[in-house]
Amino acid sequence: MADPLSLVRVADVSRSRRTLRKAQLGAPSSVRRTIMSASLSKDLREKYNTRSIPIRKDDEVLIVRGTYKGREGKVAQVYRKKWVIHVNGVHREKGSGATVPIGVNPSKCVITNLKLDKDRKNLLQRKDRKAGEKKEEDVEMKA
């Protein structure tokens, strides 16, 4: 059987590793925002009917992979240039005694509580997978 990717041809899209890597690592901040998404916790997933969302400052996260697995805290900073987030409570002491935050990859976190504002609510409504099903059911009932 043919490779499913070979059946779909999209103009001006490369599948070269080198080109894809360059596109990701040289991406502008607006694109990095979407790449730096994190999964939602199971209860948030049920509530909003979406799997992941771009992470932002003041979201509460649980680290689920790596050295700091099990730590929870608020996102203090989203450092798009370095592809990491800084979480309150995840830091290290330098030799001089100063504390420095440790960067965590957003894909290794689960969002446990969202900071909602008007734009974020609109984003969740757009991403709601079951909203389309609800609309179709309403149309069928009216007919």
What is residue 131's predicted lDDT score, i.e. its pLDDT? Answer: 77
Q: What is the pLDDT of residues 107-119, one digit of tens each?
A: 999 999 999 999 9
Q: Is it the case that residue 6 has pLDDT exceeding 70?
A: no
DSSP labels, 75-101: EEEEEGGGTEEEEEEEEEE-TTS-EEE
pTM above 0.75, yes or no: yes
- Does CATH number 2.30.30.30 belong to domain 37-138? yes
The full set of domain ranges for the chain reads 37-138
What is residue 9's predicted lDDT score, i.e. its pLDDT? Answer: 66
Average of per-residue pLDDT values in the chain: 90
Q: What is the pLDDT of residues 54-103, one digit of tens each?
A: 999 999 999 999 999 999 999 999 999 999 999 999 999 999 999 999 99
CA distances from 2 to 10, 130, 139 (A): 17, 32, 38
Q: Is it the case that residue 137 has pLDDT exceeding 70?
A: no
More confident residue, 53 or 6: 53
Q: In which band, very low, low, confident or very high, does the pLDDT at 130 lie, cut at 50, 70 and 90?
A: confident
